[in-house]
Amino acid sequence: MGQHKNEVINMKNISKVYNMGSNDFVALEDVNLSINKGEYVAIVGPSGAGKSTLMNIIGCLDTPTNGEYTLDGLNTKCSDSKLAEIRNCKIGFIFQNYNLLPKLNVLENVELPLLYLGLGSKKVREQALEALKRVGLETHLKHKPTELSGGQKQRVAIARALVTKPQIILADEPTGALDSKTGREVLDMIKELNKEGNTIVMITHDKEIAAEANRIITVKDGRITSDSWKEGEVAYEAD
Amino acid sequence: MKLTKLLKVALASVWSNKMRSFLTMLGIIIGISSVIVLVGMGEGTKKQISDQIEKLGTNLITVSITGNRTAAVTDEELKELKTKPGIKEIAPTLTQGNVNIKAGDKSDTTNLEASTPNYAEIRKIGVISGRFISQRDIDNRFKVAVIGTETATNIFSTTNVVGRTMYVNGIEFTIIGVLESQGSSAAGSSDDRIIIPLSTAQRLLKTTNIKTFYIEATSKDKVSEAMSYLQLFLNKKYKNDTRSYRVFDQTSLLETANATNESMTAMLGGIAAISLLVGGIGIMNIMLVSVVERTREIGIRKAIGAKRGIILLQFLIEAASISSLGGIIGVALGFLGAYGAEKFFKMTIVISNNIVLGAVLFSILVGIVFGIYPANKASKLNPIDALRFE
């Protein structure tokens, strides 16, 4: 019961089928998944296994063909604008290629989700500054993304993901475009965020990086093939 | 998200693509400035004509008897007509174009008008020096003339000519007055003419037939009353043959002139509006390109929580700010063009506040109308498709 109360993500029989001309392509089949508050989960699997599709559905960027997905107690079968709201305040995205808006400066990039949330400009500024301080970039407020290094860009993206205090932070190959040293820094930062109580879901194809997480979910051919906690204890094994 | 913030975002985007935004605006700039100048020209012409007509008096009725065999109006008939309600004065008139005038060794041709003393009041003519024709001149058939300033300058090289003599068709006349300048109209200069007593002219031109007379109504409001009595008289005299005469009153003349001008202005405005339409299509075209170019931006914005409406509004405001900026520049350019046309081509251009306001509002509208399709397209993009876009 207590565990249920802490549940952030609950997926029941989720499947995703893409219509490709005459034949359908099954990207996800019958996925059941439960993630609790404060977990650090890595989703691994070879490319084409369906982990990106899973991530898109978790992030409410895409909707499942079948099944039920409940995020923080909210059913995600809802209108486009409701989904936008969920993405805005429940999910923080960290992308492999940062996805910062090139024409906005660092501060404006981080402020944007708060503006979409509809906060007043004073509060927006305050919270954005706080998030940027958290990632150690309060000195680069007026810089454009193109003037930053890869590591700095990813830290801006982390600040943007954090700024609305979301339920989960979704990281899609967050170190994929970084060298190992800056990648390490970013991973450390994510780990720290997790220690502060944030729920992290990270997609990666790198076993080593996945080892950072406390729980590793393996996806293969659209199905979850293994789900293990760091301690080595296998909690769930799909057939 | 606040509207001011959205506006700022839109303007920043317009500014970051300066050259492209300017080229996109060009259609609107040309459209709006040509609307301003062309409609201003139309209005200017309208004002010029109505000023001229009003200067002649709005309670003036002109009657012309047409046809060589049509019976002329007699003095007695005019005297009787004058007693009718609404009619204040009647001036029978004879006119003759191309009369020869000569003074010293200079000669010229001009228009001759002959009438009675009340002609000055009815036609709103004043003299700057000397006097107008008097009843005594009429009674005695004096060979006296009142002369227009241009005519005076043509043959005397001065307008200080009262008391001097000239020859009209070979007969000697004494100049008793110089007319006030009235400027020129579409029908030619009203300062190039001479006016002599009616009785003198009847002898000079060997005719007693009065084919034209001017009626002054007691006031502007009485014009229609005077017209109806005039109509009765004419119907009786010409037995309902309306081809025998023509009647103009200034009000209807003014209306006709205005109607002509308005259709002219509408035509000019219409041509300019077509260029606005083309400008609008240009905006739509560029906005569509912009939506494709910014697919990724749209995807990012949607991923971090922008709703459809916000994206729609962002692109719509962008289109509207391009078009309204173009509109404002167009208005400024229009004023500049109008100033140039007045200064260098001596045109009268009247730019009303309404047309300026209308032009700016219309340009905003063009942006919104032609921005809707691309904005809607942008707002409907699927966030993952947009994020995957390279």
Q: How far is B368 from chain A (nearest CA, A)?
A: 23
Mapping DSSP to helix (H, G, I), strand (E, B) and coil, where does residue A218 land?
A: strand
What distance in Å separates the CA atoms of residue B363 and residue B350, rounded to the nearest whole number?
A: 21
Instruction: State the pLDDT at residue B390.
Output: 67
Say which range, A159-163, B259-263, B325-329, has the weakest mean pLDDT.
B259-263
For residue B2, count other CB atoms closer than 10 A to its CB: 13
| B 7-46 near A (Cβ less than 8 A) | 12-13, 16
Q: What is the average pLDDT across A145-151?
A: 92
| B215 closest CA partner among B207, B206, B224 | B224
Kindly determine whether residue B12 and residue A160, on different chains, have CB atoms separated by under 8 Å.
no
pLDDT digits (tens, 9 = 90+) for B139-176: 999 999 999 988 998 899 888 899 999 999 889 999 99
Q: What letter does residue A119 receive in the DSSP assignment?
A: -
Contact partners, residue B259, CB within 8 Å, separation at least 6: none
Q: What letter does residue A147 receive in the DSSP assignment?
A: G
Residue tagged 């809802």 (tokens):
A78
Kindly determine whether residue A103 and residue B310, on different chains, have CB atoms separated by under 8 Å.
no
Instruction: State the pLDDT at residue B224.
Output: 83
Residues B42, B352 contacting (CB under 8 angstroms)? no
Instruction: State the pLDDT at residue B39.
Output: 86
Q: Which helix (H) or strand (E) is A159 found in, with range?
A: helix A150-162
| B315 closest CA partner among B301, B336, B331 | B301
Judge whether residue B184 has pLDDT over 70: no
Kindly determine whether residue A103 and residue B309, on different chains, have CB atoms separated by under 8 Å.
no
Residues B200, B167 contacting (CB under 8 angstroms)? no
Chain B residues whose beta carbon lies within 8 Å of the beta carbon of residue A170 = none
Predicted structure pTM score = 0.71
Residue A118 in contact with partner chain B when CB distance is under 8 A: yes
Q: Average pLDDT, whole number, for chain A?
A: 89
**ipTM, interface predicted TM-score of the complex:** 0.90
Q: What is the average pLDDT across A201-219?
A: 91
The C-alpha angle with vertex A202 and arms to A197 and A206, in degrees rounded to 5, equals 135
Kindly determine whether residue B305 and residue A84, on different chains, have CB atoms separated by under 8 Å.
yes
Q: What is the average pLDDT across A88-94?
A: 93
Q: How many CB pairs under 8 A join A and B?
A: 63
* Model confidence band, residue B86 (pLDDT cutoffs 50, 70, 90): confident
Chain A residues whose beta carbon lies within 8 Å of the beta carbon of residue B296 = 99
pLDDT digits (tens, 9 = 90+) for A104-128: 999 999 999 999 998 888 999 999 9
Residues A132, A107 contacting (CB under 8 angstroms)? yes
Find the radius of gyration of the CA atoms of chain B.
33
For residue B169, count other CB atoms closer than 10 A to its CB: 13
Q: Which residues pair with A168 in a beta bridge?
A: A91, A199
What is each CA distance from A79 to A151, A177, B216, B371, in whole angstroms? 36, 34, 78, 25
Kindly determine whether residue A81 and residue B308, on different chains, have CB atoms separated by under 8 Å.
yes
Helix, strand, coil content of chain A in percent (nearest 5) = 35, 30, 35
Q: What is the average pLDDT across B229-250?
A: 84
Kindly determine whether residue B303 and residue A62, on different chains, have CB atoms separated by under 8 Å.
no
Q: How far is A169 from chain B (nearest CA, A)?
A: 12
What distance in Å separates the CA atoms of residue A206 and residue A42, rounded to the nearest whole number?
A: 10
Secondary structure of chain B as H, E, C letters: CCHHHHHHHHHHHHHHCHHHHHHHHHHHHHHHHHHHHHHHHHHHHHHHHHHHHHHCCCCEEEEEECCCCCCCECHHHHHHHHCCCCEEEEEEEEEEEEEEEEECCEEEEEEEEEECCCHHHHCCCCEEEECCCCHHHHHHCCCEEEECHHHHHHHHCCCCCCCCEEEECCEEEEEEEEECCCCEECCEECCCEEEEEHHHHHHHCCCCCECEEEEEECCHHHHHHHHHHHHHHHHHHHCCCHHHEEEEEHHHHHHHHHHHHHHHHHHHHHHHHHHHHHHHHHHHHHHHHHHHHCHHHHHHHHHCCCCHHHHHHHHHHHHHHHHHHHHHHHHHHHHHHHHHHHHHHCCCCCCCHHHHHHHHHHHHHHHHHHHHHHHHHHHCCCHHHHHHCC
Residues B98, B192 contacting (CB under 8 angstroms)? no
What distance in Å separates the CA atoms of residue A53 and residue B381, rounded to the nearest whole number?
A: 18
Judge whether residue A158 has pLDDT over 70: yes
Residues A95, A178 contacting (CB under 8 angstroms)? no
| A53 closest CA partner among A42, A67, A40, A63 | A63
| B195 closest CA partner among B296, B91, B272 | B91
Judge whether residue B188 has pLDDT over 70: no
Contact partners, residue B44, CB within 8 Å, separation at least 6: B347, B348, B349, B350
- Which of A62, A115, A173 to mutate to test binding with chain B, by most B CBs within 10 Å of its CB? A115
Instruction: State the pLDDT at residue A236.
Output: 46
Instruction: State the pLDDT at residue B219.
Output: 82
Q: How far is A88 from chain B (nearest CA, A)?
A: 4
Residues A125, A87 contacting (CB under 8 angstroms)? no
Instruction: State the pLDDT at residue A1.
Output: 39
Kindly determine whether residue A116 and residue B2, on different chains, have CB atoms separated by under 8 Å.
no
Residue A119 in contact with partner chain B when CB distance is under 8 A: no
Judge whether residue B187 has pLDDT over 60: no
Q: How far is B361 from chain A (nearest CA, A)?
A: 29
* Model confidence band, residue A4 (pLDDT cutoffs 50, 70, 90): low
Contact partners, residue B194, CB within 8 Å, separation at least 6: B99, B101, B110, B111, B112, B113, B145, B146, B147, B148, B151, B168, B173
What distance in Å separates the CA atoms of residue A171 and residue A198, rounded to the nearest whole number?
A: 12
Of B220 and A151, more confident: A151
Chain A residues whose beta carbon lies within 8 Å of the beta carbon of residue B16 = 103
Q: How many residues does chain A have?
A: 239
Kindly determine whether residue A103 and residue B12, on different chains, have CB atoms separated by under 8 Å.
yes
Contact partners, residue B275, CB within 8 Å, separation at least 6: B27, B30, B31, B34
Instruction: State the pLDDT at residue B62.
Output: 87
Q: How far is B327 from chain A (nearest CA, A)?
A: 26
Instruction: State the pLDDT at residue B251.
Output: 75
Instruction: State the pLDDT at residue A234.
Output: 45
pLDDT digits (tens, 9 = 90+) for B51-82: 877 777 778 888 888 877 778 888 888 888 88
Of A143 and B267, more confident: A143
pLDDT digits (tens, 9 = 90+) for A31-78: 999 999 999 999 999 888 888 899 999 999 999 999 999 999 889 999
The C-alpha angle with vertex B190 and arms to B189 and B192, in degrees rounded to 5, equals 75
Q: What is the layout of strands, in order, in the sheet containing A66-71? A: A23-36, A7-20, A66-71, A74-75
